[in-house]
Amino acid sequence: MSELRVFDEADSARARVHTRDFDTIRRELGEVGIRFERWEANRPLTPGAGQEEILAAYEGPVRRLMEERGLQSVDVLGMVPDHPQREAMRARFLEEHTHSEDEVRFFVEGQGLFCIHKAGRVFFVLCEKDDLISVPDGTPHWFDMGPRPRFTAIRLFTSKEGWVARMTGNDIASRFPRLE
């Protein structure tokens, strides 16, 4: 189940908001310009489904979002606990960074923790199956897939080259808990 915890940027010990209620999560995130919604597949996916099958199952919402936002590219990324580069990939995303385009992710299965630093607060958004999150361009954030990651996500991009991370140099991510 999706979860939102909101912290003051100076206090990683106590969440000001802690909820698993979808409508509350969507409202809290919407107030700071972060899109959060749920999608459903138009057909069941077979175990181990590949990119073509996954994109076909979510064709309607993917097409709608691409047209609405002028997105140019889409792919599917999967991560499993025994991936040989999981530690390096996790470390790469754990530093606060921004992008020159929105970071749009839809979780087909599994989970990941988006940590968004905005308006003097840090929003911990645990995204799970059927969750879509869109972090606006220029928004400082980090992503934690956990030490034994398992997820499949649809990624949507404005640029055909995909996103490029720009590190902020802020060490705030090191002061907040990790997904364990």
Q: Is 141 annotated as a binding residue?
A: yes
* Placement of tokens 């909101």 in the chain: 6
Q: Is 99 annotated as a binding residue?
A: yes
The radius of gyration of the chain's CA atoms, rounded to the nearest angstrom, is 16
Residue type, 19: T
User: Would you say 28 and 21 are in contact if contact means Cβ atoms under 8 Å apart?
Assistant: no
User: Would you say 34 and 116 are in contact if contact means Cβ atoms under 8 Å apart?
Assistant: yes
Local structure of residue 85 (DSSP, 8 states): T
Strands (DSSP E) along the chain, which ranges? 3-8, 11-19, 35-38, 73-79, 97-98, 103-118, 121-128, 131-135, 141-144, 151-157, 166-167
Q: Is 103 annotated as a binding residue?
A: yes
Q: Which of 113, 118, 78 is nearest to 98 (CA)?
A: 118
* Placement of tokens 């934690």 in the chain: 144
Q: Is 68 annotated as a binding residue?
A: no
Q: List, as residue ranges, the binding site.
A: 97, 99, 103, 141
Q: List, as residue ranges, the binding site for Fe(2+).
A: 97, 99, 103, 141
Q: List, as residue ranges, the binding site for Ni(2+).
A: 97, 99, 103, 141
